Every structure is written in structure tokens, then in C-alpha cells.
């Protein structure tokens, strides 16, 4: 990757210390989040907290399976987030479809559609694995390795084509959006 300026390095250092996480919890793996957030493991001591809206969040945290319907909403959400933004795929469903690999609705591989900075393997991973991943992500941000958001811009065509192949179109048409 290209050389970062000194200000960028400082900014990255600061960014890694204050991360707001938007969690898209469609899968069963979301069950491991409450203990990670609450007093048992207490995520906030690392400088991370949950965030309710995409525009204020840094991390898009996707737990488990996404189907075509939810993927559309996730793409909307991701594109709404401000740069720099990071994506964590949690659980084997985001990696390779997991136990839903042959489903008519479940996508098999999240990084065809969105740039994933970090995967957490397992079905489902324990809170320790989650914390480990957050630490790793912080390290990546400090070293300027978490560049998914740049990759998304550079390879936008490729991502868009993948999205269109699986979804038909990305626009959401339903009773609630019309």
C-alpha cells in the first residue's frame, strides 16, 4: 500500500482507539455480542462501543448469514457509512455460507459483495475470539492495513458486478420503501 503521511499515521492511531460499531445481527452468532458488550467481557474498555446509526459508525459488524434480501440493506448501510470504514465478517456463514451453503437465499461469500477487512471463523465464535479480532483490527488500523474502504472504491465495478449477479439489482423495492 502507498506510504501514509505523518498526519495519516497519527489519525490512524487515534481512530484505532475509538471505534463505534454498527452491528448487523441477522445470524445466530449475534448471541455472542451481548456478553462481549456487558460486564463479563466489557468491550468498552478497549475503546469500542455499539452505535445505532450507520452515519456515525466506523465498523460494520456482520454476524452470520445474509440472504439476498438482507444483503441489499447491508449494501445500503455500508454505502451510507462515512470513510474510513471497516467490515468484520463473523462466523462461517459469512466466509463460505456455513451450514446454509446450498440455500436458495443465502449468499456464500461476503467479500464478493463488500470488502471484508477481517473474518472471524467459527460457528459460532466465542466472545474471546471476538475480542481477539477487535484487537487485531485495531492493530491493522494502526498499521494502515485495514484498507477495505479504499479497495471498494478502486474496484467498485467488480463489487457492483458481483452484487448485480447475485441480486439482480441492488435497489430495494418493497411495501415499506415505496
Partner 1 sequence: MTNSMNEVINNVKNIASQVVINEIDEREIKLELNEKEVINVLSYLKGNGFSHLSLMTVVDWIAENKFEIVYILFSWETGNKIIVSTKIDRKEAKFVTIKHLWPTARFYEREIHEFFGIEFKGNDDMKPLFLEIWDDIPPLRKDFDPLEYSKKKFPDREYEKDVIHEAKIIRGDING
Sign of the C-alpha dihedral computed for residues 125, 116, 84 and 71 taken in this order: negative
What letter would DSSP give residue 130? H
What is the smallest separation between the CB atom of 27 and ligand SF4, expressed in angstroms?
3
CB 171 → partner 1: shortest distance, Å? 10
For partner 1, give the closer residue by CB, 109 or 150: 109
CA distances from 21 to 69, 117, 120, 145, 169 (A): 22, 14, 16, 18, 27
CA 113, distance to chain mean position in Å, is 11
The option from ligand SF4, partner 1, none interacting with 93 (CB < 5 to 8 A, set by class) reads: ligand SF4
Q: Of the listed pieces 43-51, 57-65, 67-75, 77-85, which binds partner 1 according to CB under 8 A?
A: 67-75
Q: How far is the CB of 139 from partner 1 (least distance, A)?
A: 25
Count of CB atoms within 10 A of residue 145's CB?
15
Q: Which residues bind ligand SF4 (CB under 6 A)?
A: 27-29, 64-65, 91-93, 98-99, 123-124
Amino acid at each position: 500500500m502507498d506510504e501514509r503521511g505523518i498526519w495519516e499515521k497519527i489519525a490512524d492511531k487515534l481512530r484505532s482507539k475509538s471505534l463505534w460499531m454498527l452491528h448487523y445481527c441477522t445470524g445466530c452468532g449475534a448471541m455472542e455480542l451481548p456478553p462481549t458488550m456487558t460486564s463479563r467481557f466489557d468491550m468498552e474498555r478497549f475503546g469500542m462501543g455499539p452505535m445505532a446509526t450507520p452515519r456515525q459508525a466506523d465498523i460494520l459488524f456482520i454476524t452470520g448469514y445474509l440472504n439476498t434480501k438482507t444483503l441489499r440493506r447491508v449494501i445500503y448501510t455500508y454505502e451510507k457509512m462515512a470513510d474510513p470504514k471497516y467490515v468484520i465478517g463473523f462466523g462461517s456463514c459469512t466466509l463460505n455460507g456455513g451450514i446454509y451453503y446450498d440455500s436458495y437465499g443465502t449468499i456464500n461469500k461476503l467479500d464478493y459483495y463488500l470488502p471484508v477487512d477481517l473474518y472471524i471463523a467459527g460457528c459460532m465464535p466465542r466472545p474471546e475470539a471476538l475480542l481477539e479480532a477487535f484487537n487485531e483490527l485495531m492493530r491493522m488500523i494502526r498499521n494502515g492495513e485495514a484498507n477495505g474502504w479504499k479497495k471498494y472504491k478502486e474496484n467498485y465495478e467488480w463489487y457492483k458486478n458481483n452484487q448485480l449477479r447475485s441480486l439482480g439489482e441492488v435497489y430495494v423495492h418493497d411495501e415499506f420503501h415505496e
